[in-house]
Amino acid sequence: MRNQIVTLIFVTNRLHINMRRDVFQAIADPVRRDIIELVSNGSLTVNDVAQQFEISRPAISKHIKILSECGIIDINQKGRERFCLIQPQNLLPAFLWIEQYKRLWEDKIDSFENYLTTLQSKNKQNE
């Protein structure tokens, strides 16, 4: 029984280590998106970031930890302060994925606009 427990703990810890967060997990939460926007304007301390929100400091720390695990924010310790620094290049996979759908929707909107223009032209001819 003891060996099974030790094995289970090892496997659980090993799985936790191997699970890497990705950029999509980072941007999935609106608070994290707001943190990304804040830090994109310049390096901020964790306390500076936390002051911008009406949620607890520990909750902000968890969001920052996730952003750090995703590689979107680097945390630099300077004395007693921890500074958040954006790593925008790590947002590129999400940008590229979203960009393909942006083009798709622009094509659909252009097609709809052409349809409406054609419809208006036909209505004017019938008047």
Mean pLDDT, to the nearest integer, of 79-100? 93
Percent of the chain with pLDDT over 70: 84
pLDDT tens for 47-84 read: 999 999 999 999 999 999 999 999 999 999 999 999 99
**What's residue 19's pLDDT?**
57
From the options 3.40.50.2020, 3.40.50.1240, 2.130.10.10, 1.10.10.10, give the CATH code of 22-126. Answer: 1.10.10.10
Instruction: Name the DSSP class of 78.
Output: E
Any idea what the Cα angle at residue 79 is, between residues 74 and 82, rounded to 5°? 30
> What DSSP state is assigned to residue 1?
-
Report the alpha-carbon distance of residue 9 to residue 3 in Å, rounded: 10
* Vertex 28: Cα angle to 26 and 17 (nearest 5): 45
- What are the domain boundaries of the chain? 22-126
